[in-house]
Structure 1
Amino acid sequence: MAFWTHFNILNYITDIIDILIVTYLIYKVILIIRGTKAVQLAKGILVIVAVWFLSSLFQLKTLEWILNNAITYGLFAIIVIFQPELRRVLEQLGRGRLFSRGAIVEEEHKQMTDAIVKASSYMAKRRIGALMSIERKTGLNDYIETGISLNGNLTFQLLVNIFIPNTPLHDGAVIIRGNEVIAAACYLPLSESPFISKELGTRHRAAMGVSEVTDALTVVVSEETGGITVTKNGELFRDISEEQLTEMLQHELNEPESAASSLRWNWRGKRNG
């Protein structure tokens, strides 16, 4: 009797471990496809599965038959549709990086920081005006739709080329999501704040405006002075150095929003003026 009791306990422990491993793997896969087009496809699949379940529950025979066939043959379609993401998962598994997502995110943030800082510094020295907004938790889709879709890899060269004067995309904002330039020539809401210095132009008002309604981090390069400005949470930090920009981006991208985060930057640069 004691043996069977011990055997049953081992079965429970094995089941729990099995569930935890599967849950962890699903979580890692979700982290990998997050921010890619695969997310929208996954949502579509969930809708189809939900409709199939309801058709089975309410005995909608014709709809159930159609969805049964769609799901059966859809497995092959999923392999084709998700081929880039599946290849990405297998590559990371082969490199032993599937279980170190934190390191991957940190590396992506470093690449993003390097590209933005290098581009900002290059354009500041040449008095090339620029407006770059980094999407965070609050989506910027409303503003993305006002611009030109790019979905290109974030690089120093791409950012500089976008803002070269008298080119089709230089007027407006670039919106960055992860390590991609999602769109260019986007229109951001202008701030109505009376505390913004009169010497600041439309780019700064747009950067301030988007920071008042979202948690986006926005970098501005002044065409007149070559100064670099950052806005976040309705605050504006002017004339920051390349080193300060690097430190700020690293801090904001690698750490969650907090009161301490805001306080750390209240004394840097010229605030709101």
Structure 2
Amino acid sequence: METANFFENITTSFVITNLIDILIVWYVFYLILTVIKGTKAVQLIKGIFFIIIGRVISNFFDLTTTTQIFDMVLQWGFLAVIVIFQPELRRALEQLGRGSLFRASTSSEEAALEKLTQDMLTAVRYMAKRRIGALIVLEKETGLKDYIETGVPLYSEISSQLLINIFIPNTPLHDGAMIIQGDKIATAGSYLPLSESNKIAKDLGTRHRAAVGISEVTDAFTIIVSEETGNVSVTQGGKLTKDIKMENLEELLRKNWLVTSNAKEGGGLFARK
């Protein structure tokens, strides 16, 4: 009878109100996790969870002394958390005051792409000016596992300094292709299939033929820096576009660089070979 009365009292407004309540709580927790991500607070939160689990277990087995100790820790833990998390709390309040806390949750991918794009442009501009040959492949939907396995695995963070250093002449990895998955350098010194197309100019070397070759068999986006002329070219869909300006390259990177993607066999941001 009580159950029947409960369901009779449920109204549409009641359901909507509670749903909004749950969504607000979930979003607040999401923002908190966004703020503390990558900080020491993550490890401290894990410690708090262990304390709570220990409290539940000790109470279940009726361990009186242990339970009292856990209760004391939890009782004073609130003040300890405020002291320990003071830098994170201050940063969160500052971001909230600027309104950037809410923007960060919706534009993190755009911010990551912006940083990666600028690092890539800085590296390409540096190498083009000094005629340092380079071949950089950006993986998209088609996995590049077969070609990654031919190179030296790195799975390192992307920076302009590292991009430049890998292609410095007479270094072990400068003469192959670099393959990028999401926001990581997956490998360097990889071998790519050479295109047999007779549309490629005879004065273009192996780098350009390899770039066209990989774009013929996959949907990868490839950047080539010529060591003879310093010109920058790109390939996609089997098409080679030469003498790309930096502003055009920036636009192409924003369009073709998949910073995040689902893990999949042979590719993706979190894929590991």
Q: Under TM normalisation by the shorter chain, which class is it?
A: 0.5 to 0.7
Task: State the distance in 2 between where 1:149 and 1:23 align.
Answer: 39
Give matches, 1:75-94, under 5 Å.
none
How many residues are aligned here?
195
Query: 1:105 Cα deviation (Å)?
Result: 0.9
Match of 2:156 in 1: 152
Query: 1:252 Cα deviation (Å)?
Result: 3.0
191 and 157 in structure 1: CA distance in 2 versus 1, 3 angstrom threshold: same
> Quick check: 1:142 aligned with 2:146?
yes
Match of 2:180 in 1: 176
Give matches, 1:61-140, under 5 Å.
100-140=104-144
Task: State the distance in 1 between where 2:134 and 2:239 align.
Answer: 18
Query: 1:220 Cα deviation (Å)?
Result: 0.2
Q: Is the 8 Å Cα contact of residues 108 and 178 (structure 1) preserved in structure 2?
A: no
Task: State the distance in 2 between where 1:15 and 1:139 align.
Answer: 44
Q: Is the 8 Å Cα contact of residues 219 and 228 (structure 1) preserved in structure 2?
A: yes
What's the CA shift string for 1:145-181, capped at 9, x where partnerless? 1100111111111011100111011110011122221
Match of 2:219 in 1: 215
Match of 2:8 in 1: 5
Paired residue type of 1:108: A
Query: 1:109 Cα deviation (Å)?
Result: 1.1
Which is greater in Rg? 2
Q: Percent identity?
A: 50
Task: State the distance in 2 between where 1:147 and 1:21 align.
Answer: 47
Structure 1 unmatched ranges of 5 or more: 30-89, 256-273
Match of 1:193 in 2: 197
198 and 18 in structure 1: CA distance in 2 versus 1, 3 angstrom threshold: farther
> Quick check: 1:239 aligned with 2:243?
yes
Q: Which moved more, 1:93-102 or 1:132-141?
A: 93-102
Paired residue type of 2:10: F
TM-score (norm 2): 0.60
Task: State the distance in 1 between where 2:176 and 2:234 align.
Answer: 16
Q: Is the 8 Å Cα contact of residues 173 and 186 (structure 1) preserved in structure 2?
A: yes
Structure 2 unmatched ranges of 5 or more: 34-87, 260-273
The runs of at least 4 aligned residues of structure 1 exceeding 4 Å deviation read: 1-4, 8-25, 93-102
Select 1:228's aligned residue among 227, 232, 249: 232
